[in-house]
A and B are shown apart, each in its own frame.
Chain A
Amino acid sequence: MSAEEQRDEQRTERAAGIVAHEDGAALDPEVRARLERDAKEIIARYPKPRSALLPMLHLVQSEVGYVSEAGIQFCADMLGITPAQVTGVATFYTQYKREPVGEYHVGVCINTLCAIMGGDQIWEELSEHVGVGHDEATPDGKISLERLECNAACDFAPVMMVNWEFFDDMTPEKAKQLVDDLRAGKPVAPTRGPSSVCSWKQASRVLAGFNDGRAGEGVQAGPESLRGLELAKREGWTAPEPEETTK
């Protein structure tokens, strides 16, 4: 079976609930109390409580690391819906994981443009280097890998993401070095993002809508984003003045 077929197979099985991660573990009471407090805050943001479900699933991942059975039960309890309804939603979206991912979840964009610009080669070399495939984690729980679809950064191709931070203009060598550094606990900074990569759980908390106060870090724009503006400045090109058009 090719990696691609295996991926499809896993997806189908998981969607069918055949290989949900084995976890009977109930939520630790302290964790549950924290979750409840935060979930109430999320619910209060919306005109209707059920809108809170997506952020709450991110919240569960910020505590548990993935969407566990207990996490599903928790969301169901808070929103007064059934666990099956929560599961139906959780399995629809690729960012919700039904098994633990690594502390650093590393994605390689393999959509057409990045793939052709070298993303396929990056994926092959990286996957072999780390020794895991799509949606798998290393035994030490440090790194997991995912084949990503277009991440809206095509002008920076080939693109990688670590815990949803941008790593632009990648090569196979840079990709392997990046993962080695993450495993060695060395500080790693995204190309466009904060001054260091946070953990998967911390990232999930931001996705749940809790500002971590790091918006001010990092560049405002990458070099590619500025190409048109810089050319316009060099050439003296500007938009028309409002007066010119209203006379």
Chain B
Amino acid sequence: MTTTLTPILTKTWDQADSFTLRGYENAGGYQAFRTALGMNPDDIIQAVKDSGLRGRGGAGFPTGLKWGFIPQGDGKPHYLVVNADESEPGTCKDIPLMMANPHVLVEGIIISAFAIRANHAFIYVRGEVLHVIRRLQQAVADAYEAGYLGTNILGSGFDLELVVHSGAGAYICGEETALLDSLEGYRGQPRLKPPFPAVAGLYGGPTVINNVESIASVPGIIANGADWFASMGTEKSKGFGIFSLSGHVTRPGQYEAPLGITLRELLDMAGGVRNGHRLKFWTPGGSSTPLFTDEHLDVPLDFESVGAAGSMLGTRALQIFDETTCVVRAVLRWSEFYAHESCGKCTPCREGTYWYKQMLKRLEKGEGSEKDLDTLLDLSDNILGRSFCALGDGATSPVTSSIQYFRDEYIKHFEQGGCPFDRAASTAWAGGK
């Protein structure tokens, strides 16, 4: 059976007032949290566990399990922090979600905070998305006005303060512990784990950090039941997710589907690779996930299958590149990104990404030899698994996977003494011919 789309979070995005309180309520919003406030918080955690929801921010950790790690009755303030930093190259789902429907996130926050017994929640949103920040600020203000936030919400006795906090331009602040440091007013550098944030997070208190899409999925689970959520997706990767197609595809955009859909199916829906061209390589989950090629068109896009095929589902950021694209150029540019964004705390990542950049620059110009590829792989071995956080690991993904699949193309650069590709042919205005 072929997979079809399941618009849930994206369902109201075509309504002009989808981002307003009234638009959200007219579409049935702000009902689930009323149900939730009448529940035992532990039952909410259980429902999220039963649903099988796994984190939508990249790592796929089971959300209910994470909530269950928060010590209860410890007398300490608990915190809920929503990770809205969305900066992984290729990832572009949370930003349109918050622009079109900020209230589903706010409702998810109320339910989630109630479940983990947090009276303070924060949305840490990247600072480079002004209109999304406005929409969040307004949604939060309107929710306070309606009595859905603040003290004694709808007479339930539950209090919740929600603050929209803008970042200031740093990819590393998407890493959850760097995010906490940043939110506390420091340079955003990762912390040593353990202790995990569930034990000692924001201000040292028990803290849950979840991705925007994870939290936005919670109202649906409460409204429709854990079984409803679990009826979608695969056995171990349950539910739906937003798949973001970008690049050399006829109709790039957001496609909400059950986990386990394939790129072949998604490309079919999106009109295929742009006219007259064919798929060369793609990222299943952003630039930190090893590249796939046309061999991988039928890999089910769920956590297990993508992992078994040698990559990671990540954030379902499907960046599509056709045969006009130079893979060396692509990998160099990603490496420059990692070098720029490396926080500098640990040596393998700080120095390693710098060397990547220097070496790949030479290789792209054709000033290298096949031996350099071994040096690159060697260097990758010294970064992967030896870095303090996953940014360093992620930086190795494009390098090692591109050498695995496209060694010949690197060699062609050396043979020709330069890049064999015409950049103009890759542009959006090259006409697809």
Query: Judging by beta carbons under 8 Å apart, are B253 and A116 in contact?
Result: no
Point out the residues of chain A lying under 8 angstroms from B246, CB to CB: 113, 154-155, 157
Contact digits for A64-78, partner B, Cβ 8 Å, 1 yes 0 no: 000000000000000
Known contacts A154-B317, A245-B225; A227 and B252 CB within 8 A of each other? yes
Q: Tell me the nearest residue of chain B to A207, going by C-beta.
A: B166
Query: Judging by beta carbons under 8 Å apart, are A113 and B130 in contact?
Result: no
Q: Tell me the nearest residue of chain A to B205, going by C-beta.
A: A47
Q: Tell me the nearest residue of chain A to B427, going by C-beta.
A: A118
- In the complex, whether A108 has a CB less than 8 A from a CB of chain B is no
A245 and B51 CA atoms in complex are apart in Å by 12
Point out the residues of chain B lying under 8 angstroms from A207, CB to CB: 127, 130, 133, 166, 168
Contact digits for A217-228, partner B, Cβ 8 Å, 1 yes 0 no: 011111111111
Query: Judging by beta carbons under 8 Å apart, are A96 and B168 in contact?
Result: yes
Q: How many residues of B contact A (CB 8 A)?
A: 102
A54 and B166 CA atoms in complex are apart in Å by 8
Point out the residues of chain A lying under 8 angstroms from B169, CB to CB: 93-96
Known contacts A93-B169, A150-B87, A238-B7; A120 and B423 CB within 8 A of each other? yes
Q: Contacting B14 at CB < 8 Å: which of A150, A218, A226?
A: A226
Query: Judging by beta carbons under 8 Å apart, are B92 and A154 in contact?
Result: yes
Known contacts A55-B165, A111-B333, A121-B427; A163 and B94 CB within 8 A of each other? no
Q: Contacting A117 at CB < 8 Å: which of B94, B171, B427?
A: B427
- In the complex, whether B400 has a CB less than 8 A from a CB of chain A is no
Q: Which of B41-49, B182-190, B405-413 lies on the face that meets chain A?
A: B182-190
Q: Which of A19-27, A137-145, A178-186, A190-198 lies on the face that meets chain B?
A: A190-198
Per the 8 Å Cβ criterion, residues 162-197 of B in contact with A are 163-171, 182-188
Point out the residues of chain B lying under 8 angstroms from A101, CB to CB: none
Point out the residues of chain A lying under 8 angstroms from B227, CB to CB: 245-246
Point out the residues of chain B lying under 8 angstroms from A165, CB to CB: 130-131
Q: Which of B17-25, B304-312, B376-384 lies on the face that meets chain A?
A: B17-25
Per the 8 Å Cβ criterion, residues 133-152 of B in contact with A are 133-135, 137-139, 141
- In the complex, whether A37 has a CB less than 8 A from a CB of chain B is no
A216 and B240 CA atoms in complex are apart in Å by 29
Known contacts A47-B203, A52-B185; A149 and B340 CB within 8 A of each other? yes
Point out the residues of chain A lying under 8 angstroms from B340, CB to CB: 149
A175 and B137 CA atoms in complex are apart in Å by 30
B218 vs chain A, min Cβ distance (A): 15
**Sample of 21 A–B contacts (CB below 8 Å):** A45-B163, A47-B120, A92-B188, A95-B128, A113-B246, A121-B423, A150-B87, A150-B88, A155-B253, A207-B127, A212-B134, A220-B13, A220-B16, A220-B18, A225-B13, A226-B253, A226-B254, A227-B255, A228-B243, A242-B225, A245-B228
Q: Using CB atoms and an 8 Å cutoff, list the residues of chain A in contact with chain B.
A: 4, 45-48, 50-55, 57-58, 79, 88-89, 92-96, 107, 110-113, 115-118, 120-121, 148-158, 161, 163-166, 169, 171, 190, 192-194, 203, 206-209, 211-212, 214-216, 218-233, 235, 237-240, 242, 244-246
5 closest Cβ pairs, A-B complex: A227-B253, A228-B255, A215-B138, A93-B168, A53-B185
